[in-house]
Amino acid sequence: MSGQDQIAPGPIVPNPIVPNPIVIVGAGQAGAMLSICLARHGYDVTMYESRPDLRRVDIDAGRSINLALATRGIVPLIDAGVIEKVDAITIPMRGRMIHVDGDPTPDLQPYGSQPHEVIHSVSRTDLNAILLDAAEATGRVSIEFDAQITSVDFDTSMLVFDNGRTEPFGVVFGADGAGSRVRKGMRAQGACTYETIWLDHDYKELTLPANADGTHQIDPNALHIWPGGEFMLIALANPEGDFTVTLFAPKTTFAELTTPEAVAGFFTTEFADFTTLVPDLVEQFMENPTGPLGTLHVDGWHLDDRAVLVGDSAHAIVPFHGQGMNAAFESVRLLDAHLKASPDDWAVAFANYAAERKPDTDAIAAMALENYVEMRSGVVDPNYLAKREMALDLEQRHPAHLSPRYNMVMFSTMPYAEAQRRAGAQADIIASAIADPSLDVNALVAELPALPPLDPLADPNALSIS
Ligand SMILES: Cc1cc2nc3c(=O)[nH]c(=O)nc-3n(C[C@H](O)[C@H](O)[C@H](O)COP(=O)(O)OP(=O)(O)OC[C@H]3O[C@@H](n4cnc5c(N)ncnc54)[C@H](O)[C@@H]3O)c2cc1C
């Protein structure tokens, strides 16, 4: 079954055999979206969130953290009826703006040739707030903040909180992120095994401030990259005029940057032009936390009809394809489709969801890792650029048969595993054509199977791109 064509247009009658209460642990992107879907099916849901209500408390300590939103994330937002609100807080990015030190005119590498082939910068907090409002507006979702769950006991069907309180559950949805307690409880029952493969690179977020008049210092309509070979800086615009900047670098590099002098020296040597844009760069660097990066591999996403994982708790990935949240929304949509398809047997719904989705999240996990190399060094590598140019040219000539991998991931709704397979076949053709210019590359591309249609809900004009 494809998740594309199974979404219920309206509410269904809840099945009385689903054990109550229905709880979701985690009110992040996945949990909030899932609660809307369950409420739409007519279920009453309680959602527990360890952090305070981000609509009332500044949980990012004044910093704006943003994410790239693309087609796979946009479709569920359309389905949830919140796209107009999301539109008001997004900034379109048409391509990668590549900054090379000493070159005053950065190079824009457009993401695609079609006007709608843009991604959108969106504040993590503001998007989450829209989803929480929509969840509460259903009248069926009750959210408890500052409610940290320390364990999920499947023997007694009890949630255990950090203050010792316990609450019963009938079904628990684990939307509690990469360090999921629901998943830990499932493992205790033998329902799953998991492992995080940590990258030997970390990240740190910084802020590139607005001009004094509130305008952006650099073009807001691009994802800025300062490639550095083994490390890189990226920047995504915020509506307030500032940019969220992220440094990705080897742990060994971070280990050397422990004093203000070392930090100043690093940025002056590696990113001199960038340094002039952020007057308090060293202070920010010393103050802001450094985070790890890893890929979570989970075998077993559900425990009969009592528990299922969704979002990062099932498939946390490294952020280099900007797909973690997009994938989380897409997973919720697929789970929703399977709940609709098997309303009287959630064990079957959960099992079918997991079986269909796992190959796809494995595929995006691998592609996200590969994209790191592309971003930090490929974007200035003549071989990479020649291949990309040929892919875009072939796409123009054979739009029904070929689309560059980045575009299949970001601007289509084909399963990730299919995008990965197609990308492999396309890469082989392009590599052969570059090695042997006499090859009839058009004939080879014409033999590729036709690209699948977009999800019927996907609307290229759903978000403003002006
Ligand atoms: C540096 C970085 C950049 C990224 N950039 C992008 C991007 O550009 N585009 C993109 O699509 N994705 C991006 N991602 C990935 C994205 O942030 C995640 O994939 C997404 O937020 C997953 O949503 P989630 O709801 O599954 O998990 P989370 O967002 O982690 O939400 C889990 C929620 O559960 C709560 N919780 C956790 N444990 C408990 C507990 N024990 N009890 C109660 N509540 C609990 C947490 O407080 C949280 O609110 C990025 C990630 C990183 C680290």
Alpha helices, H only, 190-299:
251-256, 260-270, 272-275, 281-287
Quote the pLDDT of residue 12: 53
The Å distance, Cα 28 to ligand 1 centre, comes to: 6
Report how far residue 245's alpha carbon sits from residue 62's, in angstroms, rounded to the nearest whole number: 14
The Å distance, Cα 180 to ligand 1 centre, comes to: 11
Please check whether residue 105 lies inside any domain of the structure. no
72-94 mean pLDDT: 97
Other Cβ atoms less than 10 A from the Cβ of 181: the count is 22
Best substitution site from 312, 329, 364 to test ligand 1's pocket, by max atoms within 8 Å of Cβ? 312
The answer on 133 and 180 residing in a single domain is: yes
Residue 34 region by backbone torsions, left for phi larger than 0, else alpha for psi between -120 and 50, else beta: alpha
pLDDT in tens, 279-289: 999 999 999 99
The answer on 407 and 358 residing in a single domain is: no
What CATH number should be reported for the domain holding residue 330? 3.50.50.60
Closest CA to 31 of 363, 274, 349, 308: 308
**Ligand 1 within 6 A of CB of 203:** yes
Closest CA to 296 of 184, 372, 142, 439: 184
The answer on 298 and 279 residing in a single domain is: no
The answer on 369 and 248 residing in a single domain is: no
In sequence order, the β-bridge partners of residue 47 are: 24, 143
The answer on 17 and 32 residing in a single domain is: yes
Boundary residue ending a domain (374, 395, 425): 374
Please check whether residue 459 lies inside any domain of the structure. no
**Ligand 1 within 6 A of CB of 125:** no
Please check whether residue 433 lies inside any domain of the structure. yes
Token code pair at residue 244: 């969220």
In sequence order, the β-bridge partners of residue 207 are: 244
Asked if residue 41 lies in contact with residue 429, where contact means CB atoms within 8 angstroms, the answer is no
Please check whether residue 462 lies inside any domain of the structure. no
pLDDT at 16 over 70: no
The Å distance, Cα 324 to ligand 1 centre, comes to: 8
In sequence order, the β-bridge partners of residue 97 are: 108, 224
User: Which of 309-323, 335-349, 450-464 is predicted with the least confidence, judged by mean pLDDT?
Assistant: 450-464
DSSP state of 346: H
Burial of 78 (0-12, 13-18, 19+ CB in 10 A): middle
Q: How confident is the model at residue 102 (pLDDT cuts 50, 70, 90)?
A: confident
pLDDT in tens, 137-166: 999 999 999 999 999 999 999 999 999 999
Quote the pLDDT of residue 466: 66
Atom of ligand 1 nearest to the CA of 48: 43
Quote the pLDDT of residue 5: 39
Please check whether residue 253 lies inside any domain of the structure. yes
Could you tell me the strand order of the sheet in which 158-161 lies? 149-153, 158-161, 166-168
Domain range for residue 418? 378-446
Atom of ligand 1 nearest to the CA of 73: 11
The answer on 287 and 298 residing in a single domain is: no
Count of structural domains, the chain: 3
The answer on 147 and 58 residing in a single domain is: yes
The answer on 182 and 60 residing in a single domain is: yes
Please check whether residue 389 lies inside any domain of the structure. yes
Token code pair at residue 311: 């979002």
- Quote the pTM value: 0.95
**Ligand 1 within 6 A of CB of 49:** yes
Boundary residue ending a domain (292, 312, 328): 292
The Å distance, Cα 261 to ligand 1 centre, comes to: 33
The answer on 202 and 269 residing in a single domain is: yes
Please check whether residue 455 lies inside any domain of the structure. no
Boundary residue ending a domain (269, 292, 315): 292
pLDDT at 63 over 80: no
The Å distance, Cα 66 to ligand 1 centre, comes to: 12
The answer on 202 and 191 residing in a single domain is: no
The answer on 352 and 210 residing in a single domain is: no
Quote the pLDDT of residue 418: 98
The answer on 188 and 78 residing in a single domain is: yes
Could you tell me the strand order of the sheet in which 171-174 lies? 141-144, 45-48, 22-25, 171-174, 307-309, 302-303
Please check whether residue 47 lies inside any domain of the structure. yes
Closest CA to 70 of 406, 434, 337: 406
Asked if residue 62 lies in contact with residue 123, where contact means CB atoms within 8 angstroms, the answer is no
The Å distance, Cα 47 to ligand 1 centre, comes to: 16
DSSP state of 449: P
Smallest CA separation from ligand 1 atom 4, residue: 319
Residues 6+ apart with CB under 8 A from 410: 70, 71, 111, 117, 119, 321, 322, 323
Our CA dihedral for 35, 41, 44, 47, rounded to 10 degrees, sits at -10
Report how far residue 319's alpha carbon sits from residue 283's, in angstroms, rounded to the nearest whole number: 25
